[in-house]
Amino acid sequence: MAEKRKLNCLTFEKKREILTLVDKKTMSKTDICKQFNIPKSTLSTFIKDRDKINSRSEACQPNRKKQRTVKSDAIEKSLFVWFKQARAMAIPISGPILMAKAEEIGTEMGLDFKSNTGWLDRFKKRYGILYKYKTVCGESAAVKTESLTPVESRTKGLLTLLRDFEPRDIYSADETGLFYRCLPFNTLALKGEKCSDGKAPKNRLTVLVAANMDGSDKLPLLIIGKFDRLRCFKYCKYLPLQYKANKKSWMTAALFESWVRSLDASFKCEGRKIALVVDNCLAHPDIDDLHAVTLMRLPSNTTSVLQPCDQGIIASLKKHYRTIVLRKLIAYTDHGKSADTFEMSILDAMYELKAAWNLVSSATVANCFRLAGFVVGSEQPPDDATPTADINKETPTSPAPTCYGTDDLFEAMAKKFLPPGVSLKDFFSVDDAVETTGQLSTEEICASVNVTDSEEQEQDDSPTPSSIPTVAEAREALQKLREFIQAHDFSQAEQYVNVLGNVSSDIEMVSLKRRKQSSITDFFQKV
């Protein structure tokens, strides 16, 4: 008789490590199962429940194996969000304060909830407060991350903290607001809009940008929108970028912690140790139990000087993004359509942002780090330099219509679409003032936890795709694309053809999966 397999219950940390290995595709699923002593069915369950594992691991210490649900689950989730926000502000929180706040949140949600010390102890254990947050119950706030001092921060102070890391292992991350639907003719209406009070929420996103010092690794962008489930995602089984949502489209402490922990698991699998430089704000809390990531905070009010992303990386991303959007607008109007009817969904914006991020050169990234004072050896940070020659480059006065250059495109487009008094620079920087973080009120915290799918769908105004293209339509589109590549002298034509070959194979696999094996009764007709 075969020996019964021993049940192997993994911690949330191990589950996230497994999911990271699956995403990296450096090991086969069979090898992953052998390494962690789990059956293939369990691995399939982990992949299916990826979102649940990530959300539950955020609310527990990493060594927990299960998270039990309680009747007051919505109240506790909101309370934990408020708690982390208060801790990011270095406010000491005691047990009675937590109990009083829980009852206030219950009242806000219309629930009859009474707290007691027994519930408080269980809440702390469920959310790992006793393990993650040692400064609870009135103790003074302790700084758990490195902090860059303002004095000599551009030279010695900065380099001292980073001297143990190679340039490829020094990363910087920062958020920026983006009016993804903004076109030249509505630049004046949006210029300087902060969106701090809920204005224009449907037209803005928050984008998290991160890259390393030598420009060799630009991390995938994280997109934060207002709606959790979008109509344009209806048939999507693949998203070009990671997407999260909350009522204000803001980066929050919970989202940032989730992103950092995922990053930590990824670099842990690679056996790397990295430094992550971020701004000092409410949305960037202390994070314990990190294995591969060391968080380093910039001093308050120094982002414009010391944050590499603000020295030109974000500006380059936005310029490339709006270049792509303007090309689409010109193509749209060239077919006799009005620019007023031009539309973009968040899914469209995600594809264009991904393409724009790929166009940001490694030289631009490296120069922006250098301009912020991140230098190696005896090299000195420049006193006054531009991170990249093309970010602030003026549009030439003599267009060349046959050229595919962006400058010539902007020259032609500006005359047609830019209103009087608005320059290309104004258009590129229209959303620089948009707020990406802030303090959420109790009402907003409760709404973010307790919102229903129907409410989200009613407010989402993005168009719903009519249907999924058929296999025949996909084949036809692929053939047209091949013919187009053959007719033009592209420098990467061979690479494009290879990619199209892989796409063609996958299309045929979809076609085979949809076919059904004939039954013997199919060969007989009823008399």
Which pLDDT tens digit goes with each residue over 201-239? 568 899 999 999 999 999 999 999 988 878 888 888 888
Q: For residue 64, which of 131, 136, 18 has the smallest C-alpha distance?
A: 131
Distance of CA 209 to the CA centre of its chain: 8
Provide the 8-state DSSP code for 147.
E
Q: Is 285 left (phi over 0), alpha (psi -120 to 50) or beta?
A: beta
Q: Kindly report, residue by residue over 128-148, the tens digit of the pLDDT.
A: 776 455 444 433 343 345 555
Structure tokens at 240: 């070009």
Structure tokens at 407: 């400058």
Q: Is residue 451 very low, low, confident or very high in pLDDT (cuts 50, 70, 90)? A: low
Q: What is the pLDDT of residue 407?
A: 61
Q: Kindly report, residue by residue over 70-101, the tens digit of the pLDDT.
A: 557 788 888 888 887 777 666 778 888 888 88
Most confident of 63-67, 156-160, 268-272, 388-392: 268-272
What does pLDDT average to over the chain?
A: 77
Per-residue pLDDT, averaged over 337-350, amounts to 85
Residue 397 has pLDDT above 90, yes or no: no
Count CB atoms within 10 A of the CB of residue 106. Answer: 20
Q: Kindly report, residue by residue over 460-483, the tens digit of the pLDDT.
A: 666 677 778 888 888 999 999 999
Q: What is the pLDDT of residue 39?
A: 86
Q: What is the pLDDT of residue 394?
A: 37
Residue 309 has pLDDT above 60, yes or no: yes
Count CB atoms within 10 A of the CB of residue 10. Answer: 17
SS (H, E, C) 234-270: CCCCCCCCEEEECCCCCCCHHHHHHHHHHHHHHHHHH
